[in-house]
Structure 1
Amino acid sequence: MRRSRRALWLAAVAPAPAVISRSIAALLASLALCTQPRADEIRKGEYLARAADCIGCHTSNPSRPFAGGYRVPTPFGDVYSTNITPDLDTGIGRYSADEFVRAVQKGVRRDGANLYPAMPYDSFAAMSREDVLAIRAYLLAQPPIFQPRPANILPFPFNQRWTLVLWKLANLHSGGFAPDRSRTAAWTRGAYLVEVLGHCGACHTPRNATFGMDENRAFAGGNAGIWRAFNITSDKIAGVGGWSDEELFRFLKTGAVPGKAYASGPMAETVMNSLQHLSDDDIHAMAAYLRDVPAQSGDEKQPRFSWGNTLGVADSAGSNGAAQGSGAAAGGDLYRSLCSGCHGTNGGGSADGSAPSLTHNTSPGAAMPDNVVMTILEGVKAGDVAGRKSMAAFGGWLDDGQVAILANYVTAHFGNPDARVTAADVRLMRAGTSTGRTVMILAGQALAACGAVLLLALLTLLAKRLRSAHVRP
């Protein structure tokens, strides 16, 4: 049977199966070339987001990563982190590339409002656009989660975002990261990780009169909310100048260096969420940079890790004739019932290292007992990094007086005996805010400024009168 003209035409123009296969293969290869850079950018963004610890501040519920709602105590009140999942309504799903870069580097939301510097854009301002966009690619690849941000708790005038324009004028410096050509590549990488991505200065640098980072005292110690962020300059007493390179590396990577320090509070969470995931080369680079940070002295009489009093509970809680319920005896009772099971009678820690030693430990050895108090109140989230276990919080079990007694016992017997705390101090730390102190500081600054203006006016008036008397015939 003869085939129809239509069949003959189709046979003539239809491509052979081999041609179709080659076309499909070429199309798939083209798609692979398009998607491979995208996948590489997402992987790079994931690593950079780890280095910047985005998940640490933008996650309040571990089952809803990057959905925001994390409470950040600031000197002005409580700020809650934003949702940075791709959700269109509560997240960053509608942010363009330029809008996202502007938010990260300049602290400006998509609607043009200023972000509070609880978001460390004063450090991120030096981040490269390429790195910011890689982080954006990674975040946009995450599942969108609908979660509105809780309202910030900020009293007037701190709740007025327009006032941040003044803060930015004083503290936000534009311009990218400028490598020092005289330094090694490792040192330069460490500088970028410490100063920019890791924004270490946000906690470890004291604040100036405008509550920006005091660049003249970089890394000399500051606050992470209510927690103390210690001096990490090269000073041998106040800082980490007495640490070896390997000890610095180990602390950054694991948060634990027996005989020196154990990370707690926000630093423990930074190790858990961020630093443990960085490459060894990057951790070594950070250590190399910190080793070279100019030394800044502090109030310490000796290194924080050097305190090593090992007087046991049994030696102090009753043998000296102190009445039960008084300071030393009550502290010994609390320590024996709540702490000695893990940390040992003499504070030496557990044999397997899962519970740290309280002797030769920077927290009990600090000049101020804030971190000891906060550890008792909030516990420690260690995430089983390097086998170290988390510690339960006792804030719900102990009242302010008991926390003070226990903290004083720990510092007196295992750390700096000069560090003391009262129940009133604990009450303020438990509240988790320093807004009242900030208001007093600002009020004092305002009074000082008014006094200076008044004094200048009086001196000007006096000078005019003296000149007038001098020229009078």
Structure 2
Amino acid sequence: MAAVQKGVRRDGADLYPAMPYDSFAAMSREDVLAIRVYLLAQPTISQPRPQNILPFPFNQRWILVLWKFANLHTGSFTPDLSRTAEWNRGAYLIEVLGHCGACHTPRNTTFGMDENRKFAGGTAGIWQAFNITGDKIAGVGGWSDEELFRFLKTGAVAGKAYAGGPMAETVMNSLQHLSDDDIHAMVAYLRDVPAQTGDERQPRFSWGNVPAIAGDAGTKTQGSGSTDGDNLYRSLCSGCHGMNGGGSPDGSYPSLIRNTALGAATPENVVMTILEGVKAGDVAGRKSMAAFGGWLDDGQVATLANYVTARFGNPDVSTTAADVRQMRAGSSTEQTVTLLAAQALAASGAGLLLALLLLLARRFRRETSSARLMFVHRDRR
């Protein structure tokens, strides 16, 4: 109970919130104990405890006291009696058990979830977790209830999106096993989350038209803009996604046209898909994708990512070999932690600088005011 709901381990030390106890804090006692029973029934594994790889000062565990003070809100989940039982079930699954905000809500300067921008989009490592509010451009307001249900249950909706990265693994390991009633409850709750706008000019799923049929193997595909990219696509991608990006007829291999990953405003998910592949687990017949990170260098990954994005998705998005190098490095836990720590230091440094400037400005105003009063007093004398 202490670990799951309060982030405290057996010896009394604070746990890092990599385990999302800031969401689990509202979990019912019955659910916590049910999880414990399940875990104790699993085969025993003997494995050394991983070393703390956080750089200074984040390797100082006492800092977590401050983090918890700012971000950990204790107390069990309280149903809203003005809402339906389905809505409350969805709220509990989304906010607590599913801890969807851990990825889909942006972080504030203390690295807690920004409740003013709930579900407006966040990150899971390098992967982008998209806006899942009801905004019709930035979010899922243009999706039907049935499409949302199908995506949560299977990770695939033709003409809209195909789950990749951590979301594909969430569908494979968790969501596909939920009852239909639970998935419907999640949809009902998501529909009621306040819409949050973004920087998108049009919905992510609206990008891409079926290109002209490719020419002979030795020619550049019409509209591709890159012979090298065309060659990489032909040799690595076309066998599953088709020469025109339409995917397989049975949907087991996704279409690249009207696909949110390629219609996004940033290239991270396309690059990470090429680097790491997709673990789909054959959910609803959907096939996994091989990782090409060990086969392609950074320049080739950038070339292929730019090719498929320009040809099938948002042509305004591009990436460079240097970007790919950083994403490839950041896909490891140690590099991601270091990057986040650097961002936190930069944010805290900026905050300290601003606080110092405000203090100096206040002191200057005080001294100026005192000098003015002395001058007026002297003048009156």
Q: TM-score, normalised by structure 1?
A: 0.75
Matched, 1:441 2:341: no
User: Which residue is 2:251 aligned to?
Assistant: 353
Return the alpha-carbon distance in structure 2 between the equivalents of residues 439 and 338 of structure 1: 41
User: Which residue is 1:468 aligned to?
Assistant: 374
Q: Equivalent residue of 1:209, what SS?
A: coil
Give 2:210's aligned amino acid: T
Return the alpha-carbon distance in structure 1 between the equivalents of residues 85 and 345 of structure 2: 44
Any conservation in 1 of the 2:101–2:113 contact (CA below 8 Å)? yes
Any conservation in 2 of the 1:312–1:413 contact (CA below 8 Å)? no
Q: Equivalent residue of 1:447, what SS?
A: helix
Q: Cα 1:444–1:424, aligned 2, differ >3 Å: closer, same or farther? A: farther
Q: Cα 1:321–1:130, aligned 2, differ >3 Å: closer, same or farther? A: closer
Any conservation in 2 of the 1:102–1:108 contact (CA below 8 Å)? yes
Return the alpha-carbon distance in structure 1 between the equivalents of residues 82 and 222 of structure 2: 65
Give 1:214's aligned amino acid: D
Any conservation in 1 of the 2:134–2:141 contact (CA below 8 Å)? yes
Any conservation in 2 of the 1:312–1:345 contact (CA below 8 Å)? no
Q: Equivalent residue of 1:228, what SS?
A: strand
Instruction: Give the alignment partner of residue 387 of structure 1, picking from 282, 285, 304.
Output: 285
Which has the higher Rg, Structure 1 or Structure 2? 1
1:466 deviation in Å? 2.3
Matched, 1:104 2:10: no
User: Which residue is 1:314 aligned to?
Assistant: 214
User: Which residue is 2:323 aligned to?
Assistant: 425
Give 1:452's aligned amino acid: L
1:180-191 equivalences in 2 (<5 Å): 180-191=80-91
Give 1:359's aligned amino acid: I
Instruction: Give the alignment partner of residue 297 of structure 1, picking from 177, 182, 197.
Output: 197
Matched, 1:281 2:281: no
Return the alpha-carbon distance in structure 1 between the equivalents of residues 323 and 357 of structure 2: 31
User: Which residue is 1:205 aligned to?
Assistant: 105
User: Which residue is 1:369 aligned to?
Assistant: 267
Return the alpha-carbon distance in structure 2 between the equivalents of residues 148 and 327 of structure 1: 51
Q: Equivalent residue of 1:174, what SS?
A: coil
1:144 deviation in Å? 1.9
Give the CA RMSD over aligned residues.
1.9
Give 1:215's aligned amino acid: E
1:312 deviation in Å? 5.0
1:218 deviation in Å? 0.2
Any conservation in 1 of the 2:220–2:230 contact (CA below 8 Å)? no
Matched, 1:403 2:309: no
Return the alpha-carbon distance in structure 1 between the equivalents of residues 283 and 221 of structure 2: 40
Give 1:428's aligned amino acid: Q
Give 1:448's aligned amino acid: L
User: Which residue is 2:157 aligned to?
Assistant: 257
1:430 deviation in Å? 0.4
Q: Which runs of 5+ in 1 are unaligned?
A: 1-100
Any conservation in 2 of the 1:310–1:413 contact (CA below 8 Å)? no
Any conservation in 2 of the 1:233–1:295 contact (CA below 8 Å)? yes
Instruction: Give the alignment partner of residue 363 of structure 2, picking from 436, 453, 457.
Output: 457
1:140 deviation in Å? 1.5
Return the alpha-carbon distance in structure 1 between the equivalents of residues 257 and 29 of structure 2: 45
Return the alpha-carbon distance in structure 2 between the equivalents of residues 459 and 362 of structure 1: 52
Q: TM-score, normalised by structure 2?
A: 0.93
Give 1:391's aligned amino acid: M
Percent sequence identity is 75
Matched, 1:170 2:70: yes
User: Which residue is 1:23 aligned to?
Assistant: none
Give 1:297's aligned amino acid: T
Give 1:332's aligned amino acid: D
Return the alpha-carbon distance in structure 2 between the equivalents of residues 390 and 411 of structure 1: 20
Q: 185-194 or 108-117, which moves further after superposition?
A: 108-117
> How many aligned residue pairs are there?
370
Give 1:133's aligned amino acid: L
Q: Equivalent residue of 1:223, what SS?
A: strand
